[in-house]
Amino acid sequence: SRKTAATSAQPAPPLDPCPDSPLSLVGPLLVEFETIRSLQWVRNQLGSVLQQGGRHKPPDCTARQKVAVIIPFRNRYEHLTHWLYYLHPVLMRQQLDYGVYVINQDGDGAFNRAKLMNIGFVEALKEYDYDCFVFSDVDLVPIDDRNLYRCSDHPRHLSVAIDKFNYRLSSVTAFGGVSLLTEEQFLKVNGFSNTFWGWGGEDDDLYNRIIVRGMSITRPDAGIAKYKMIKHGRDLHNEVNPENAVKTKKTAENIETDGLNSLNFTVKEILKDVLFTLISVDVQAP
């Protein structure tokens, strides 16, 4: 009988797949950033249910996808703390087998969000057989947990309706903020460009890559894909780079040679926090 099998040395039988629509979702969430939260306080709240490195999977069913969340980062610990506090419970309720990777740009050279995303993709795959990649800004928190952090047949844009833009999509080609691609989709576009230094354009270039490779994007319903962005000014060493807008006109020329196949970086440190994996990298800023 099953009872005797459970006490023997046999491996546990495989769990059933998790339901397509997780039953534990609650819908609209209360999200605010006025409360002061410390990383240690969040560790105390959530640490006991997480695996080292910010990993979690549903205990009672097999997750439909293995999801790596990649966050480009430098000097935004206050935002990261809010993000972790809100996102871990959401990702758990969505019954994902997931890990959170914070890719920290070492030094104070020009910031390169896109290159940090490529590095996160490569480094996360070294650790686990992920099949879906979430590329997320650190300052975007969903306010409805029905907005699933799960990949689909097409590259997917989740941050549709952000409070900063009065909960309206800024443009039909917008692909910044929170975007999801499967491993196969990301490889097909050769990842992000590595050459967008400073602010702007790298998200439009990724959108162009998707179109150039014959794909299209999907989005959840705007009534569900709602976000709050933590208020911030422009960071130091991430000034608008006017060259970036010019480069977005040349995606078709650059996609072959600029991306995952030309990625160069040095890992300086990998730190396992219970809430996240922090990978500090030298991105070889000019």
Enumerate binding residues for Mn ion (CB under 5 A). 139
- Concerning whether 215 is annotated as a catalytic residue, the answer is no
- Concerning whether 37 is annotated as a catalytic residue, the answer is no
Give the one entry of ligand UD2, Mn ion, none that residue 73 binds, where binding means its C-beta sits below a cut-off of 5 to 8 angstroms depending on kind. ligand UD2
- Concerning whether 150 is annotated as a catalytic residue, the answer is no
Q: How many helices (H) and strands (E) does the chain have?
A: 8, 11
CB-closest chain residue to Mn ion: 139
- Concerning whether 97 is annotated as a catalytic residue, the answer is no
In whole angstroms, what is the distance from residue 118 CA to residue 101 CA?
Answer: 12
Structure tokens at 215: 């794909």
In whole angstroms, what is the distance from residue 134 CA to residue 71 CA?
Answer: 8
Catalytic one of 108, 234, 253, 256: 234
Sign of the CA dihedral with 89 first, then 67, 170, and 78 last: positive
List CB contacts of 265: < 8 A, sequence separation 6 or more: 115, 119, 281, 282, 283, 284
Catalytic one of 64, 76, 117, 139: 139
- Concerning whether 203 is annotated as a catalytic residue, the answer is yes
213, containing H or E segment: none
Which residue's CB is nearer to Mn ion, number 27 or number 233? 233
- Concerning whether 41 is annotated as a catalytic residue, the answer is no
- Concerning whether 139 is annotated as a catalytic residue, the answer is yes
Catalytic one of 41, 153, 221, 232: 232
CB of 206 to ligand UD2, least distance (A): 9
Binding stretches for ligand UD2 (CB under 6 A): 71-76, 111, 113, 137-139, 159, 162, 176-177, 199-200, 202-203, 235, 238
Give the one entry of Mn ion, ligand UD2, none that residue 144 binds, where binding means its C-beta sits below a cut-off of 5 to 8 angstroms depending on kind. none
42: left (phi over 0), alpha (psi -120 to 50) or beta: alpha
* Residue 38: C-alpha distances to residues 51, 65, 173, 226 (Å): 20, 30, 36, 25
Structure tokens at 90: 């959401």
Which residue's CB is nearer to ligand UD2, number 235 or number 253? 235
Q: To which residue do tokens 């491996």 refer?
A: 11
Give the one entry of ligand UD2, Mn ion, none that residue 111 binds, where binding means its C-beta sits below a cut-off of 5 to 8 angstroms depending on kind. ligand UD2
Q: Within its chain, how far is the Cα of 120 from the centroid?
A: 9
Which residue's CB is nearer to ligand UD2, number 123 or number 139? 139
Sign of the CA dihedral with 39 first, then 40, 45, and 51 last: positive
Which residue's CB is nearer to ligand UD2, number 57 or number 228? 228
Catalytic one of 123, 145, 203, 258: 203
- Concerning whether 229 is annotated as a catalytic residue, the answer is yes
Which residue's CB is nearer to ligand UD2, number 56 or number 74? 74
Catalytic residues: 137, 139, 199, 202-203, 229, 232, 234
